[in-house]
Amino acid sequence: MKTYILIFRMDIVSPEMQPSKDQMATYMQDWMKWINSIIDKGQLADGGLHITNEGRVLRPNNVVEEKPYSVNNESINGYIVVSAENIDDAVKLAEGCPLLNGKGTSVEVREALKLG
For the stretch 23-61, pLDDT in tens is 888 888 999 999 999 999 999 997 687 888 889 999 999
Domain 2-111 in CATH: superfamily?
A: Dimeric alpha+beta barrel (3.30.70.1060)
Q: Which H, E and C letters describe 89-115, residue by residue? A: HHHHHHHCCHHHHCCCEEEEEEECCCC
| pLDDT surpasses 80 at 1 | yes
Average pLDDT across the chain, whole number: 90
Question: pTM of the prediction?
Answer: 0.86
Q: Quick one: DSSP state of residue 49?
A: E
- According to the model, what pLDDT value does residue 103 have? 82
With bands split at pLDDT 50, 70 and 90, how would you rate the model's confidence at 101? confident
